[in-house]
């Protein structure tokens, strides 16, 4: 087990390069199952979830090589005898593991996939995934913690209106439809930038994909695929996290390797709060931001404010002069970081899916426990501005989604270290 030790009140300065997106990498890796041609994926973040997905692909038969120095993954699926079982032992720590269901089913006509594990921030049911795959012709049942899916004659294009907006379900159905026979129309789909990155990858493989509206997509299935080289987009959640870190603790922090237009909503909220920043082509410089103003926000699917930045912006709200509110509309159990922030001196009340933050409050170092990926990084942010020392336990959550977080922070003069115990 490991813990992070953060000694607060250090003024940050320097340059942070944003890594590739974990949430874009995982569905792209899953989609590689469809092809027996050479695939090169660049700008890959070597976080725990990506390593786990690589191990899963290796388990089912992919010839996959991870080049950690070049942040590159090479795949060539030469084997004909693929396993179509994704076991609990590999999926128990990773919610996104269910994303292999669609490609395995579409390519091989059957799949047995463990129900997902990962962060304990809500039920995240797979119902929408299964709904879409059934519409494509799959027969599915759940037994002993596994999804058992079959499509003996393959999958066939159809029109699907997803019952609710789901990023994972949209990705699963897009990948499955890409190898299905005929044309598929998906309505009410998620339109996150990571999904656009996935469809760009599939287009390079030879799939004809067209966005026909904000939440509508047309896919013409193709089983004759091409070799592909593709770069993963930047991690917009990591970018948002460092922008908030800069607003909290920096004199001047430059964040490079991003696209500011993808962060419009986040930047608009931060501007309302009084955060000072300057935007250039592929970088944002954040300056010391005093007199933070309270705001009320709600999380929603893209292009709304992302649930994955909710915990981080809550730390900034603790420094605001007045009452801020966050309404969490995506997950029903995503305020588990609140008791830990309150241990450090926050004054936050949770009323169902609404949190009320009474600021400004001075935070003090304490021993706290990470409960999920984004909650863990919010405790790091709180530790940066807290008096004395903050000890963060269960940081394996952090390693699932942030690449070299403490190294990046140390380069910006933060006093942060990792201990084994």
Cα 211 to Cα 181: distance, rounded to the nearest angstrom: 19
Rounded CA separation 24/45 (Å): 10
Helix segments in 15-95, DSSP class H? 22-31, 48-60, 88-91
Contacts of 184 (CB under 8 A, 6+ apart): 136, 157, 158, 159, 160, 173, 177, 218, 219, 221
Query: What are the distances in angstroms from CA 393 to CA 61, 245, 313, 369, 376?
Result: 36, 20, 21, 5, 9
Is 189 marked active-site?
Answer: no
CA-CA distances (angstroms) from residue 242 to 19, 83, 198, 378? 12, 40, 25, 11
- The residue written with tokens 């797979």 in the block is 126
Place of tokens 């027969």: 139
Those residues whose C-beta lies under 8 Å from the C-beta of residue 302, and which sit 6 or more positions away, are 190, 191, 192, 193
Question: In this structure, what DSSP letter does residue 59 have?
Answer: H
**Which H or E run includes 186?**
strand 183-187
Say how far apart CA 404 and CA 77 lie, in whole Å.
30
* CA 326/CA 339 separation, integer angstroms: 15
| Residues classed as catalytic | 119
């Amino acid at each position: 087990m490991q813990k992070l030790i953060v000694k607060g009140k250090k003024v940050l300065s320097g340059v942070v390069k944003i890594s590739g997106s974990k949430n874009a990498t995982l569905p792209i890796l899953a989609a590689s199952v469809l092809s027996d041609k050479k695939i090169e994926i660049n700008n890959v973040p070597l976080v725990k979830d990506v390593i786990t997905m690589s191990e899963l692909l290796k388990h089912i038969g992919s010839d996959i090589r991870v080049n950690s120095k070049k942040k590159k993954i090479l795949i060539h699926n030469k084997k004909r005898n693929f396993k179509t079982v994704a076991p609990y032992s590999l999926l128990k720590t990773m919610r996104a593991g269910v994303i292999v269901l669609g490609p395995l089913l579409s390519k091989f006509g059957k799949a047995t996939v463990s129900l997902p594990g990962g962060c304990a921030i809500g039920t995240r049911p797979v119902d929408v995934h299964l709904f879409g795959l059934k519409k494509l012709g799959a027969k599915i049942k759940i037994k002993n913690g596994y999804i058992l899916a079959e499509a003996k004659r393959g999958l066939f294009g159809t029109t699907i209106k997803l019952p609710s907006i789901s990023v994972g379900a949209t990705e699963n159905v897009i990948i499955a439809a890409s190898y299905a026979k005929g044309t598929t129309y998906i309505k009410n789909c998620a339109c996150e930038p990571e999904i656009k990155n996935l469809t760009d990858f599939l287009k390079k493989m030879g799939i004809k994909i067209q966005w026909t509206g904000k939440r509508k997509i047309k896919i013409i299935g193709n089983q004759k695929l091409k070799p592909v080289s593709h770069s993963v987009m930047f991690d917009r959640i990591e970018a948002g996290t460092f922008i908030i870190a800069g607003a909290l603790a920096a004199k001047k922090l430059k964040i490079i390797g991003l696209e500011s237009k993808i962060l419009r909503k986040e930047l608009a909220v931060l501007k309302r709060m009084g955060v000072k920043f300057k935007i250039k082509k592929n970088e944002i410089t954040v300056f010391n931001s005093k007199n933070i103003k309270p705001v009320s926000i709600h999380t929603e699917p893209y292009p709304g404010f992302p649930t994955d930045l909710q915990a981080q912006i809550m730390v900034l709200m603790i420094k605001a002069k007045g009452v801020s509110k966050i309404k969490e509309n995506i997950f029903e159990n995503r305020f588990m970081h609140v008791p830990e922030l309150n241990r450090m001196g926050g004054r936050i009340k949770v009323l169902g899916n609404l949190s009320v933050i009474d600021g400004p409050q001075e935070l003090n170092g304490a021993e706290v426990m990470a409960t999920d990926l984004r909650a863990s990084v919010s405790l790091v942010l709180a530790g940066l501005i807290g008096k004395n020392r903050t000890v963060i336990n269960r940081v394996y959550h952090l390693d699932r989604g942030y690449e070299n977080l403490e190294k990046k922070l140390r380069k910006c003069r933060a006093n942060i270290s990792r201990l084994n115990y």
